[in-house]
Amino acid sequence: MTIALERPQQRSKSAQIREKLGYPIIDTDVHTQEFEPAVLDYLEQIGGTAIAETFKQHLPGSSRFKWYKQTWEERFAYRSNRPNWWGRPTKNTLNLATISLPKLLHERLQESGTDFAVLYPNLATLAPNISREEMRRPVCRAINTYHADIFRPYSDRLTPIAAIPMHTPEEAIEELEYAVNVLGLKAIQIPGYVRRPIPAFEKYGPEVANEVVWIDNFGLDSQYDYDPFWAKCVELKVIPTTHASSQGWTTQRSVTNAQYNHINHFAFAAEAFCKSLFFGGVTRRFPTLRFAFLEGGSAWGASLYADIIWHWETRNKQHLLTNNNPTLVDKEALAELYIRYGGELVKGRVDQIGDGLGFHSKHFAPQDPGQLDEFELAGIEKPEDVRDRFWKHFYFGTESDDTRVAHAFNRAANPFGDRVKAFLGSDAGHWDVPDITAVTANAYSMVERGIITEEDLQYFLSIHPLELYTSLNRDFFKGTAVEKAADEYLGSRE
Same structural domain, 261 and 273: yes
Angle subtended by helix axes 36-47 and 133-151, to nearest 10? 120
18 in a structural domain:
no
Give me the pLDDT at residue 432, please.
85
Q: Is residue 108 part of a domain?
A: yes
155 and 67 within one domain:
yes
Let me know whether 321 and 308 are in one domain: no
**Shared-domain flag, residues 362 and 465:** no
**DSSP assignment letter at 158:** E
Lowest mean pLDDT among 84-98, 183-197, 305-319: 84-98
Residue 351 three-state SS: helix
Q: Please indicate, yes or no, if residue 19 is contained in any of the structural domains.
A: no
pLDDT score at 362: 56
Q: Are 54 and 144 in contact (CB under 8 A)?
A: no
What span, in angstroms and rounded, lies between the C-alpha atoms of 187 and 243?
A: 13
Please report, for the domain that includes residue 42, its CATH number.
3.20.20.140
Question: 296 lies in a domain?
Answer: yes
One domain, residues 346 and 435: no
Which structural domain range is residue 341 located in? 317-372
What is the arithmetic mean of pLDDT over 480-492?
95
The partner residues of 424 in beta bridges, in order of sequence, read 398
Instruction: Based on the fold, state whether residues 322 and 306 are members of the same structural domain.
Output: no
Tell which of 347, 372, 397 closes a domain: 372
Report if residue 2 sits inside a domain.
no
> Which residues in 59-94 are b (16+ Cβ under 10 Å) and which e?
bbeeeebebeeeeeeebeeeebbbbbeebebeeeee
pLDDT digits (tens, 9 = 90+) for 396-418: 999 999 999 999 999 999 999 99
Q: Same domain for 287 and 400?
A: yes
Q: What is the pTM of this model?
A: 0.94
The answer to whether residues 142 and 265 belong to one domain is yes
Question: Does a structural domain hold residue 428?
Answer: yes
Q: Are residues 241 and 135 in the same domain?
A: yes
- How many structural domains does the chain have? 2
Question: Is pLDDT at 494 greater than 80 in this prediction?
Answer: no
- As a whole number of angstroms, the longest Cα–Cα distance in the chain is 94
**Residues 459-480: pLDDT tens digits?**
999 999 999 999 999 999 999 9
Q: Encode pLDDT of 42-93 as tens digits.
A: 999 999 999 999 999 887 654 557 888 899 999 999 999 999 888 888 889 9
